Amino acid sequence: MSIGVRFTAKSTVEIITKILTCSYEALPETLSEDLHQLVNDTSDRSSEPTSIQTIGELYKTLDVLRELADGLEKVHFNTTVSSLTGGVVGLAGGITSVVGLILAPFTLGASLIVTGVGIGVAVAGGVTSGMERVLELDLDEDWEEFQSFSI
């Protein structure tokens, strides 16, 4: 085996092309079995990918990922706002209900209407918070899909 310039080319791409497409003479039998296996493994082209994505396809994939991330961020923001809103509305409804009950003896029962309204507002706040939780669970599923997205 002699050492010398095996490939000449004008550019790196041209050298790589020559390296990948040329045929090589067999290694002498005097070399170790491990070295033979290493050369066979590195020159085995059956394990190469069958298709290589182009830069354009990668940019399209990145655009899809960006759109998914933007959508997830918007949904997360909106669910956080609705959760906070639902909690505040529920608290206001609860306070209104308690105030209506406290005032009932002094208003001869007229403030029970306020209590009913307060209960309704508290229920609406609870429903809003509950819907937020449902949306948050859906967001968690979308997030898992986003994380499992492969290029």
DSSP structure string for 111-128: THHHHHHHHHHHHHHHHH
What pLDDT, on the 0 to 100 scale, is given for residue 49? Answer: 54
Per domain, the residue ranges of the chain are: 12-47, 55-148
- 71-123 per-position pLDDT tens digit: 878 877 888 888 888 888 888 899 998 998 898 888 888 888 888 888 888 88
Report the pLDDT value the prediction gives residue 131, as an integer from 0 to 100. Answer: 79
**Which of 78, 70, 76, 67 has the alpha carbon at shortest distance from 140?**
76
Q: Which of 6-15, 55-64, 138-147 has the lowest mean pLDDT?
A: 138-147
The secondary element (H helix, E strand) that includes residue 147 is: helix 112-148
The pLDDT of 8-26, averaged and rounded, is: 76
pLDDT score at 133: 74
Residues 6+ apart with CB under 8 A from 64: 149
The pLDDT tens digits for 30-58 are 888 888 788 777 766 555 555 566 777 88
Report pLDDT for 46: 59
If one compares 17 and 4, the residue with the highest pLDDT of the two is: 17
On the CB side of 49, CA atoms within 13 Å amount to 3
